[in-house]
Amino acid sequence: MKYQTVIGLEVHLQAKTNSKMFCSCSSDYFGKEANINICPVCFGLPGALPVPNEEAIRKCIKLSLALNCKINNNSKFDRKNYYYPDLPKGYQITQSDIPFGEDGYVEIEIGDDSRRIRIKRVHMEEDTAKSIHEGEDTLVDYNKSGTPLIEIVTEPDFQTVEEIAAFAKRLRQIIRYAEVSDAEMQKGQMRFELNMSLKTPDLAAHELPDYRIEVKNIGSISVLEKVIDFEYERQSIEIDNGKKMISQTRGLKNMSGETLLQRTKESADDYRYFPEPDIPPIKLDDTWINEIKESIKELPLERKTRYLELGLELEQADIFIEDTDRGDWFDLVCQEEGSNDTKIAKELSKWINSDIAGFVEKRKTSFEKMPLTTKDFLYLLNLLLENKITGTVVKKVIEIIFTTGKAGAEEIIKERNLLQITDESELEKFVDKVISDNEKVVKDIKKNPNAVKFLVGLVMRESRGKANPNTTEELLKEKLDL
Ligand SMILES: [Zn+2]
């Protein structure tokens, strides 16, 4: 690329709480009838006093700690003054100079490389209402107004789209692991704001461009990637044409990532910040902070390291840390006796991420609710690794368990006599039958040695999956002089 990109992100996240940030109205607005969860505090009516939501602050601190931030024990809320129809008070309660969390980082991985993205700050604020545009009219639904919002701001540390995508994914995992929010982007629970500029070759390594393009309200990682591509093109054309770049706020024009100008910024916005007079300064004591710290369970990177140490392949470990239903079930299997070894862990993970995931999806169930027990699964895979049953039989038994809804792999194998044929004379009967039934294939086999695989398949079918494919192939080759 001709110009180096300088990218920072702001992430707006809805904290999962029962009530709003400064009043007791329900914060559950998704799909609700308009304007039912509102009160004088949400509207900032004269005399109404805001009371901070302790649970929301707890979640903000928890996320800050999970993002390796230092916590400011003495903090406060501030007023950001501006008027907009979705902000009925004429100001937003937010945090300006002393956020709850500061100076953290997130570790991301691109293939085998890892990098740190610095987190500048994590602060708490309230969300605005929702504007609904209908033809000439704009309607406002205040249910969302005042719901708790956490803002995460990164340093301009990103240079590529891959880094942005890896960061967004890892951040969403951390948020979910720390149980701060469900971070469902389709519901608008996590939104991005992009800050992007291009560095011309005349700037020194430590220098940043003197302009910044902000693109607001991006609701998905894939659109974010498209916006970066679009903005790179757009900005580099302007620079190539010798245009003086100035800071702008741009909006999303469509889902293919095009942006359009909303306003230019000749100077910094004047929001006339001042400390919120209706809320006393917030003092956080260390005991409470430590208590929150201890409530954080294993984080994604720790989980990934644990899987890699167990010997799982990178790709498998990545699936488990993203899809925690699968990962949790894998952990449960690993708690069973006789599972703690690399060979079996690798085999378990492959089966979980292919066949078992397939069954779960096909039957529209979940790993938690499916009828296959961890004991049965481990029992089957141990038999497989000991060469006592074939992969085909494993699948068959799992299918029977899913169809009947009953556990008991050992009984199923016994009842249906599914143990692998180890007795060569028994295997020979199937091989002989297949050879005599398929004269034509046998005749052609000298010209096309691959046809032997076809015969192996027939023996497998004839033996209902109980023949060992390798022994069968050897026996066939021997009999046919191959
Ligand atoms: Zn309210």
Q: Nearest-CA neighbor of 429 among 368, 475, 362, 397? A: 475
State the distance from the centre of ligand 1 to the C-alpha of 65, rounded, in angstroms.
29
State the distance from the centre of ligand 1 to the C-alpha of 213, rounded, in angstroms.
35
Percentage of the chain beyond pLDDT 70 is 99
Query: Is residue 217 scored above 60 in pLDDT?
Result: yes
State the distance from the centre of ligand 1 to the C-alpha of 36, rounded, in angstroms.
10
State the distance from the centre of ligand 1 to the C-alpha of 54, rounded, in angstroms.
15
State the distance from the centre of ligand 1 to the C-alpha of 296, rounded, in angstroms.
30
What average pLDDT score do residues 155-183 get? 94
State the distance from the centre of ligand 1 to the C-alpha of 40, rounded, in angstroms.
6
pLDDT in tens, 442-478: 888 877 877 888 888 888 888 888 888 888 888 888 8
State the distance from the centre of ligand 1 to the C-alpha of 276, rounded, in angstroms.
18
Question: What's residue 268's pLDDT?
Answer: 59
pLDDT in tens, 70-127: 999 999 999 999 888 889 899 999 999 999 999 999 999 998 889 999 999 999 999 9
State the distance from the centre of ligand 1 to the C-alpha of 42, rounded, in angstroms.
4
Inter-axis angle of helices 374-385 and 391-404, nearest 10: 160
Cα distance between residue 161 and residue 78, in whole Å: 34
State the distance from the centre of ligand 1 to the C-alpha of 24, rounded, in angstroms.
6
State the distance from the centre of ligand 1 to the C-alpha of 277, rounded, in angstroms.
18
Question: What's residue 421's pLDDT?
Answer: 75
The model's confidence at residue 290, banded by pLDDT at 50, 70 and 90, is very high
Question: What's residue 116's pLDDT?
Answer: 96
State the distance from the centre of ligand 1 to the C-alpha of 289, rounded, in angstroms.
28
Which residue has 């095009």 as its token pair?
258
State the distance from the centre of ligand 1 to the C-alpha of 414, rounded, in angstroms.
64
The model's confidence at residue 340, banded by pLDDT at 50, 70 and 90, is low
State the distance from the centre of ligand 1 to the C-alpha of 80, rounded, in angstroms.
19
Query: Is residue 288 scored above 90 in pLDDT?
Result: yes
Question: What's residue 349's pLDDT?
Answer: 94
Q: Nearest-CA neighbor of 208 among 458, 468, 1, 5? A: 5
State the distance from the centre of ligand 1 to the C-alpha of 64, rounded, in angstroms.
26
The model's confidence at residue 65, banded by pLDDT at 50, 70 and 90, is very high
Query: Is residue 338 scored above 80 in pLDDT?
Result: no
State the distance from the centre of ligand 1 to the C-alpha of 284, rounded, in angstroms.
25
Least confident of 96-100, 251-255, 356-360: 251-255
The model's confidence at residue 258, banded by pLDDT at 50, 70 and 90, is very high
State the distance from the centre of ligand 1 to the C-alpha of 83, rounded, in angstroms.
19
pTM confidence score: 0.85
Q: Kindly write down the DSSP assignment for every residue of 36-100, as one continuous string.
A: -S--HHHHT-TT------HHHHHHHHHHHHHTTPEE-SEE--EEEE--BTTBTTSEEEE-SSS-S
Whether domain 424-479 has CATH 1.10.10.410: yes
Cα distance between residue 299 and residue 68, in whole Å: 11
Q: Kindly write down the DSSP assignment for every residue of 168-213, as one continuous string.
A: HHHHHHHHHHTTS----GGGTSEEEEEEEEEE-TTS-TT---S--E
Question: Hey, is 21 helix, strand or coil?
Answer: coil
Q: 205, exposed or middle or buried, with CB in 10 Å at 0-12, 13-18, 19+?
A: exposed
Question: What's residue 266's pLDDT?
Answer: 61
Give the H/E segment covering residue 25.
none
State the distance from the centre of ligand 1 to the C-alpha of 151, rounded, in angstroms.
21
State the distance from the centre of ligand 1 to the C-alpha of 279, rounded, in angstroms.
16
- Token code pair at residue 451: 């046809």
State the distance from the centre of ligand 1 to the C-alpha of 58, rounded, in angstroms.
20
Q: 148, exposed or middle or buried, with CB in 10 Å at 0-12, 13-18, 19+?
A: buried
Chain centroid offset of residue 112 CA: 19
Percentage of the chain beyond pLDDT 90 is 67
State the distance from the centre of ligand 1 to the C-alpha of 124, rounded, in angstroms.
17
State the distance from the centre of ligand 1 to the C-alpha of 22, rounded, in angstroms.
7
Please, what is the end-to-end C-alpha distance for the chain in angstroms? Answer: 56
State the distance from the centre of ligand 1 to the C-alpha of 270, rounded, in angstroms.
27
The model's confidence at residue 269, banded by pLDDT at 50, 70 and 90, is low
Domain ranges of the chain: 4-293, 300-415, 424-479
Question: What's residue 190's pLDDT?
Answer: 96
State the distance from the centre of ligand 1 to the C-alpha of 20, rounded, in angstroms.
7
What average pLDDT score do residues 130-155 get? 94
- One-letter identity of residue 100: F
Query: Is residue 267 scored above 70 in pLDDT?
Result: no
What residue spans of 241-311 are helical by DSSP H? 286-294, 300-310
pLDDT in tens, 426-445: 888 888 888 888 888 888 88
State the distance from the centre of ligand 1 to the C-alpha of 185, rounded, in angstroms.
24
What average pLDDT score do residues 211-224 get? 93
State the distance from the centre of ligand 1 to the C-alpha of 144, rounded, in angstroms.
10
